[in-house]
Amino acid sequence: MTSVMRAEIGEQPDALRRTIDALLPRTPDLAALGRETRQVLFIARGSSDNAAVYGRYLVESHTGRLATLAAPSIATTYKRRLDLSGVLAVAISQSGKTEEIVETLDWARDCGARTVAVTNGAGSPLAEAAEVALITEAGDEIAVPATKTYTTQLAALSVIGLGLGADVEGGVEGGGDDLRRVPDEVARLIALTEESPALPEIVEELAKVPGAVVSGRGIAFGTALELALKIKEACYLHAMGLSYADLQHGPIAVVDAQTPALLVAADSGPTLAGTVALARRVAGAGARAYGLGGGSDLAAACSASLPGPVLPEWTAPLGLIVPGQILVENLARRLGIDPDVPRGLNKVTQTD
């Protein structure tokens, strides 16, 4: 029986197409805010925070602006006032109803920041609180694990990057063309992943172990964090999401026959060679390495691999998480878990 999570994974091409078509015309609004700011502060929790990691790397690597992740407790618990003049605060929430995120965006505005919201909740408190609200077009998402709301957030963050002057080939127009390729590429990737003989192989191997390490770097790092989160919340396995640079500083000691590594990478870009080298190191230590993306180079270095999107590195995360989503959904069902309603979780999470 098909899970709701699997059905919503399949809705992503259309959700992405609607979102990209709706948000690309907003780049002038974002450019206007960009002219009045010099750095970006991302405000988020959970899957949205993993999307923010992508946003941070995109902004820093392609617009030359400093970007940071907010600590909402500074606003909500410590209640400290900071000088945020010259800051563009971008709050990300699927529902737009998480009180902590709304409160932190209000705090950022009161501290002098200009404000943007990224949310699937039109008319939500978060959308109402922001100067510019980027409303994603994911439609209703029923399964608790975020899939289409996550990828449409990435699309919105890509548009923010373009609005802030990302140095991608062809500028804003060329970047828009890159984004418009994403929905068809995601549809192709869904079909390829489900047909891949590596999918059941990796599922069976992961069903035998208590956990895994998930690693990537740079633009792909947020994907590694999101995949680790999905494994934890939907499959109840221990999963550690790490940059491969951090992994090599000590935690790689946990990678062994009972703790495989899932390695994510775009098919091109400056972090691919390091990911391939890590796969070889993992294999040399007698552990299993499973690749997601990374093209033929990563596939050759891994025990098994799932395909990645054929997209420029800066847009690759919009597709790169998709084989991971399919892997998690299959693994949850293999373990006898309903992926739609993980224990202890709700669709909207309120934090203090």
The answer to whether residue 191 sits within a structural domain is no
Count of the separate structural domains present in the chain: 2
The answer to whether residue 100 sits within a structural domain is yes
Confidence (pLDDT) at 239: 93
Confidence (pLDDT) at 259: 86
Global confidence as pTM: 0.95
The answer to whether 213 and 254 have CB atoms below 8 angstroms apart is yes
Shared domain for 154 and 244, answered yes or no, is: no
The answer to whether 72 and 98 have CB atoms below 8 angstroms apart is no
Shared domain for 274 and 154, answered yes or no, is: no
Shared domain for 47 and 110, answered yes or no, is: yes
Q: Measured between alpha carbons, how far is 193 from 264 in angstroms, rounded to an integer?
A: 14
Domain boundary among 186, 213, 240: 186
Domain boundary among 138, 156, 186: 186
Shared domain for 177 and 227, answered yes or no, is: no
Q: Measured between alpha carbons, how far is 158 from 324 in angstroms, rounded to an integer?
A: 20
The answer to whether residue 27 sits within a structural domain is yes
Q: Residue 346: pLDDT above 80?
A: no
Residues 204-260: pLDDT tens digits? 999 999 999 999 999 999 999 999 999 999 999 999 888 777 766 555 666 777 889
Q: What angle do CA 226, 292, 148 make, to 5 degrees?
A: 45
The answer to whether 311 and 318 have CB atoms below 8 angstroms apart is yes
The answer to whether 317 and 222 have CB atoms below 8 angstroms apart is yes
Domain boundary among 186, 204, 238: 186
Residues 285-334: pLDDT tens digits? 888 999 999 999 999 999 999 999 999 999 999 999 999 999 999 999 99
In the chain, alpha helices (H): 4-10, 12-23, 27-35, 46-62, 72-76, 99-110, 125-129, 148-163, 171-195, 198-206, 221-235, 244-247, 272-284, 295-301, 317-334
The answer to whether residue 340 sits within a structural domain is no
Shared domain for 52 and 201, answered yes or no, is: no
The answer to whether 265 and 294 have CB atoms below 8 angstroms apart is yes
Shared domain for 154 and 12, answered yes or no, is: yes
Shared domain for 135 and 21, answered yes or no, is: yes
Shared domain for 215 and 312, answered yes or no, is: yes
Q: Could you tell me what percent of the chain has a pLDDT over 70?
A: 95
Q: Which residues are catalytic?
A: 347
Instruction: Tell me which amino acid residue 220 is.
Output: A
The answer to whether residue 351 sits within a structural domain is no
More confident residue, 245 or 87: 87
The answer to whether residue 339 sits within a structural domain is no
Arithmetic mean of pLDDT over the chain = 93
Q: Residue 2: pLDDT above 60?
A: yes
Residue 291 main-chain phi, psi, to 5 deg? -100, 145
Query: For residue 66, what is the domain's CATH number?
Result: 3.40.50.10490
Confidence (pLDDT) at 251: 52
- In this prediction, residue 170 has a pLDDT band, given cuts at 50, 70 and 90, of confident
Mean pLDDT of 179-194: 98
- Domain hosting 294: range is 196-334
Shared domain for 174 and 304, answered yes or no, is: no
The answer to whether residue 341 sits within a structural domain is no
Confidence (pLDDT) at 347: 46
Q: Could you tell me what percent of the chain has a pLDDT over 90?
A: 86
Confidence (pLDDT) at 253: 64
**Which residues touch 231 (CB under 8 Å, ≥6 apart)?**
212, 214, 237, 239, 328, 331
The answer to whether 16 and 186 have CB atoms below 8 angstroms apart is yes
Shared domain for 127 and 219, answered yes or no, is: no
Q: Residue 193: pLDDT above 60?
A: yes
Mean pLDDT of 332-337: 96
The answer to whether residue 343 sits within a structural domain is no
Shared domain for 92 and 161, answered yes or no, is: yes
Mean pLDDT of 56-70: 97
Shared domain for 176 and 75, answered yes or no, is: yes
Q: Residue 127: pLDDT above 60?
A: yes
More confident residue, 185 or 256: 185
Task: Reduce the DSSP state of residue 198 to 3 states and report it.
Answer: helix
